[in-house]
Amino acid sequence: MKGIKLFAASFFAAAFLSFTPENKKLIVIDAGHGGTDMGSTREGVYEKDIVLRIGKEIQKFNSTQNTYEVILTRDYDTESPLSDRTTLINKLNPEMVISLHMNSSPHKESERSGQEIFTQNTDASRKLAEKISQKFNPSFIAGEKNLHILRESKAPTVLVELGFMNSTKDREYLTSEKGRQEIARKFTEIFKEY
Ligand SMILES: [Zn+2]
Query: Mind listing the pLDDT tens digit for each residue in 104-139?
Result: 998 999 999 999 999 999 999 999 999 999 999 899
Please determine, for residue 140, whether its predicted confidence score (pLDDT) is greater than 60. Answer: yes
Q: How close is the Cα of 18 to the center of ligand 1, in Å?
A: 32
What is the 77 CA–ligand 1 centroid distance (Å)? 14
Mean pLDDT of the chain: 91
More confident of the two residues 81 and 24: 81
Distance 5 CA to ligand 1 centre (A): 22
41 C-alpha to ligand 1 centroid (Å): 10
Distance 159 CA to ligand 1 centre (A): 9
Which long-range contacts (C-beta less than 8 Å, at least 24 apart) are formed by 166-174? 166/42, 166/104, 166/105, 166/107, 166/108, 166/109, 166/110, 167/109, 167/110, 167/112, 167/113, 168/109, 169/113, 170/110, 170/113, 170/114, 171/42, 171/43, 171/45, 174/50, 174/54, 174/102
Give the pLDDT band (50/70/90) at residue 11.
Answer: low
Cα of 100 vs centre of ligand 1, distance in Å, is 7
**Domains in the chain, CATH or no CATH each:** 23-193 (3.40.630.40)
Neighbours of 156 (CB within 10 A): 21
Task: Please give the distance, rounded to the nearest whole angstrom, from the Cα atom of residue 104 to the centre of ligand 1.
Answer: 9
> Which has more pLDDT, 16 or 30?
30
| Model pLDDT, residue 94 | 97
The per-residue pLDDT for 2 is 47
Ligand 1 midpoint to CA 37 (Å): 9
**What band does 41 get if pLDDT is binned at 50, 70 and 90?**
very high
User: What pLDDT score does 1 carry?
Assistant: 46
User: pLDDT band at residue 19, thresholds of 50, 70 and 90?
Assistant: low
**CB neighbours (10 Å) of residue 35?**
12
Confidence of residue 173 (pLDDT cuts 50, 70, 90): very high
pLDDT in tens, 43-63: 899 999 999 999 999 999 999
Ligand 1 center–CA 118 separation, angstroms: 12
Distance 152 CA to ligand 1 centre (A): 17
Which pLDDT belongs to residue 121? 97
The rounded Å distance from CA 22 to ligand 1 centre is 33
